[in-house]
Amino acid sequence: MNLLTTLKGSLLEGFFPAGWDLARMDACAALPPEAILERQPWWNRDFAPIPCDSLAEFDVKMGHEIALEIRRAAEAGRPLALILPVGPMGMYAWAVYFLREWGVGCGHVHGFNMDEWSDAQGNTLPSTDPGAFQNAMEQAFYGPLGELTVPPAQRHFATKEQLPHYAEQIAALRGQGAKLVVVFGIGRVCHIAFWEPHFAAEFASEAAWRAQTHRLGARLHPLTIEQNAITSFKSRTTLVPCNANTIGPGLFLQADRIIGGADGALGRGMMWQGLSLWVTLRYGPDPWVTSSYMPTLPGRLFFLRELAGPLVAECN
């Protein structure tokens, strides 16, 4: 007996997002590893998944991609709007390294953090809290850039005061010739930022779903909470907030280019992101699977090769 044969009528019914086709997801994940690079009809012609054989290679390549976008915008004399994640994180050290090696300043860069922990009303952690995404960005990216850094007035964080203004600020920058680049990771439930799958039930149409620019105090899925307990809170689920402020598809699907990352391998054959990666690439665009839209945009998705599988049972 497996999940697909025992789900109906069980306690798990209602746990997974109602719009998920679990059999379809399982079919995606059952494909052989070498099939992961096969182009799909809905992929943007300028989208490409990029396999990496190690975490070190992943961090360097993704960091180089971010730094290159900053350098190109500087050379073109145009502003750059960067939507940035806290997860993955290892690429920021390399983005800093390349920018400092090249002597490229970030006075033209406008950084927008895509999300932040909050309560149900959208109140966020203090910016200096060890768990705050603002603190993480200052420590990993803005601080290490030193004299080349993004001006403080051009760093935007997903607080309830700032997040509602992202759309108008980014629109104004694009009116000045800015390129919008979205850097992202993929969540356990295939979210982008904290735009969760169960939000799809609230909208009468895909167009209405796609129009949403942000949400304050978004209710997180239990699998998202547990993913973050593993990746950010040393397994201490009780410390993970149940809500977050987040951008929505009305922003991240407007990207001129995307830089994605999937590095969710835990060692000893264990991982949390293999299914999420396969579904992102093979499910096809669906509001119940937020990340399924990312291959429709131009850019690159870097991933650890081992996430491609084969995704079969193995006792560790």
For residue 181, pLDDT over 70 is answered with: yes
Residue 237: which domain range? 45-308
Residue 72 within any structural domain of the chain: yes
- pLDDT for 6 equals 62
**Given the DSSP bridges, would you call strands 270-271 and 243-247 parallel, antiparallel or unpaired?**
unpaired
- pLDDT for 14 equals 79
Residue 3 within any structural domain of the chain: no
Q: Confirm if 287 and 205 have CB atoms less than 8 A apart.
A: no
Q: What is the mean pLDDT of residues 50-79?
A: 98
Look at the pTM and tell me if it is higher than 0.75.
yes
For residue 4, pLDDT over 90 is answered with: no
- pLDDT for 12 equals 63
**Given the DSSP bridges, would you call strands 257-262 and 179-185 parallel, antiparallel or unpaired?**
parallel
In the chain, the number of structural domains is 1
- pLDDT for 314 equals 84
**pLDDT (tens digit, 9 = 90+) per residue, 271-280?**
999 999 999 9
Residue 38 within any structural domain of the chain: no
Q: What are phi and psi of 172, to 5 degrees?
A: -65, -40
Token look-up 């264990």 returns 270
Residue 270 within any structural domain of the chain: yes
Residue 82 within any structural domain of the chain: yes
The domain that holds 255 is classified in CATH as: 3.40.50.1360
Residue 15 within any structural domain of the chain: no
User: Residues with Cβ < 8 Å from 137, sequence gap 6 or more?
Assistant: 84, 86, 111, 113, 155, 157
For residue 11, pLDDT over 70 is answered with: no
Strand order in the sheet with 109-113: 47-52, 299-304, 257-262, 179-185, 80-84, 109-113, 155-156
For residue 166, pLDDT over 70 is answered with: yes
